[in-house]
């Protein structure tokens, strides 16, 4: 394994040497990423010489199909220079390192979007809508795609200090932005969201809701942003009361997932039990429908999306054929856990 100390010794003056084939331990990888975040000069050298790059056009990552699976189409520094001999700081963000220690960056080429079609042909890949792409890749890759888009958006939209109004100077890695005049420092932010599967043990049913923005036929779990000063459990109980008029008890944590919409959220998955005998009273402002589903109905909805994950992004579905979010979404796993009685 290559230690962090050895990594430091590889940065020799103007000559930069990065390991290309040897795998890194988790600790070495984390510490190298931290160095790239904190040392701007080092990050710039790595970026210009040894990185792998994932291109985005209007938020769409470049993906290629390998067999039945999709994955990012990485390009190297020489390929990047063909597209543009100069990538602006605000158009790049550090994603991490691959297993061999090679740094990976997200690159927005919105200023060169006229080359998108040519790039797709040359690389045998496609700039793919992110909402669809997240469900075409494995979980680890989905997090990479989500992280890239969120950091590029943060760089694009946060430009001035909220205290004095002066321009911000952002790091190439997208780890922070510092005011050019005062001492204020800004970091990319992730908004916490509580998402919960609610069951009624007395009837063995699951609550699912439908928002107007969902594609026809899709139902999902209740979710909402945490209020300031609110615990996760409080958030889940409040959202259940607000959205469907249900009082819940026994809130337990399941897992979490970063989600890039609307601008970077941490979806915190929970499970909760409703007090028995309650009828949903959906909020007419936020929801089209909310109802209890039997175990057979939920299984049918899961089977339907497993057969065709593209239902999530289609607009001409049969509204009577109910389905849940695909496997790439934490809502799917919350529903599946209830089906599996875990």
pLDDT score of 4 more than 90: no
DSSP code for 332: H
CA 69 from centre of chain: 19
* Cα–Cα nearest to 328, from 313, 317, 314: 313
* SS3 labels along 75-125: ECHHHHHHHCCCCCHHHEEEEEECCCCCEEEEEECHHHHHHHHHHHHHHCC
Tokens of 49: 């010489």
CA angle 56, 62, 65 (to 5 degrees): 165
Alpha-carbon gap, residue 69 to 171, rounded angstroms: 34
At 9 the pLDDT is 33
Collapsed DSSP state (helix, strand, coil) of residue 215: coil
What CA–CA distance (Å, rounded) separates 224 from 114? Answer: 38
Distance CA 103, CA 43 (A): 9
**pLDDT for the residue 18:** 42
**pLDDT digit string, tens, across residues 260-270:** 988 889 999 99
On the CB side of 115, how many CA atoms lie within 13 Å of its CA? 16
Pairing of strands 205-210, 289-293: antiparallel
Q: Mean pLDDT over residues 116-136, rounded?
A: 94
Q: What is the pLDDT of residue 22?
A: 56
Contact present, 174 and 93 (Cβ < 8 Å): yes
Whether the predicted pLDDT of 228 surpasses 90: yes
Q: What is the mean pLDDT of residues 120-142?
A: 92
The three-point CA angle 261-69-190 to 5° equals 20
Confidence of residue 154 (pLDDT cuts 50, 70, 90): very high
What is each CA distance from 22 to 3, 5, 25, in whole angstroms?
A: 11, 15, 10
Residue 225 to residue 265: CA distance in whole angstroms: 9
DSSP conformation class of 67: T
d(CA 117, CA 26): 38
Residues in the chain: 342
Q: What is the mean pLDDT of the chain?
A: 90
Of 46-50, 123-127, 237-241, the range with the lowest mean pLDDT is: 46-50
What integer is the mean pLDDT of 280-287?
Answer: 95
Q: Is the pLDDT of residue 293 over 80?
A: yes
Top-confidence residue, 329 or 6: 329
Angle, to 10 degrees, between the axis of helix 295-307 and the axis of helix 330-339? 140
Q: How confident is the model at residue 321 (pLDDT cuts 50, 70, 90)?
A: very high
Q: Phi and psi dihedrals of 148, rounded to 5?
A: -60, -50
Instruction: Answer whether residue 19 shows pLDDT above 50.
Output: no
DSSP state of 313: G
CATH 3.40.50.300 applies to domain 191-339: no
**Over the stretch 38-84, which tens digit does the pLDDT of each residue have?**
999 999 999 988 889 999 999 999 999 988 789 999 999 999 999 98
**pLDDT of res. 161:** 97
Q: What percent of the chain has pLDDT over 90?
A: 79
Token pair of 279, please?
């009828």
Angle at 327 between CA 324 and CA 330, to 5 degrees: 80
Question: Whole-model pTM?
Answer: 0.85
HSE-CB of 321 using CA atoms within 13 angstroms = 11
């Amino acid at each position: 394994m290559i230690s962090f100390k050895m990594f430091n010794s590889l940065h020799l003056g103007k000559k930069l040497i990065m390991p290309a084939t040897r795998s890194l331990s988790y600790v070495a990888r984390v510490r190298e990423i931290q160095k790239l975040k904190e040392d701007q000069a080092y990050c710039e050298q790595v970026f210009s010489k040894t990185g792998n790059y994932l291109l985005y056009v209007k938020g769409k990552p470049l993906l290629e199909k390998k067999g039945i699976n999709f994955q990012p189409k990485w390009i190297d520094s020489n390929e990047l220079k063909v597209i543009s001999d100069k990538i602006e700081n605000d158009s790049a963000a550090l994603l991490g390192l691959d297993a061999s220690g090679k740094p990976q960056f997200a690159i927005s080429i919105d200023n060169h979007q006229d080359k998108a079609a040519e790039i797709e042909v040359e690389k045998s890949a496609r700039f793919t809508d992110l909402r669809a792409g997240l469900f075409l890749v494995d979980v680890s890759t989905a997090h990479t795609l989500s992280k890239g888009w969120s950091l590029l958006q943060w760089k694009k939209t946060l430009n001035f200090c909220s205290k004095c109004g002066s321009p911000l100077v952002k790091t190439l890695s997208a780890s922070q932005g510092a005011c050019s005049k005062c001492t204020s420092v800004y970091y990319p932010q992730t908004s916490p969201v509580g998402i919960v599967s609610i069951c009624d043990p007395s009837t063995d049913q699951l609550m699912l809701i439908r928002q107007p923005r969902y594609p026809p036929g899709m139902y999902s779990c209740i979710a909402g942003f945490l209020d300031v000063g609110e615990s996760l459990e409080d958030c889940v109980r409040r959202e259940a009361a607000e959205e469907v008029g249900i009082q819940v008890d026994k809130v337990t944590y399941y897992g979490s997932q970063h989600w890039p919409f609307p601008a970077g959220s941490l979806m915190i998955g929970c499970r909760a039990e409703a007090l028995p005998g309650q009828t949903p009273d959906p909020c007419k402002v936020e929801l089209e429908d909310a109802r209890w589903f039997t175990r057979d109905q939920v299984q049918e909805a899961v089977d339907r999306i497993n057969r065709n994950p593209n239902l999530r992004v289609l607009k001409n579905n049969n509204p009577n054929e109910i389905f849940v979010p695909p496997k790439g979404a934490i809502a799917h796993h919350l529903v599946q856990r209830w089906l599996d009685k875990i």
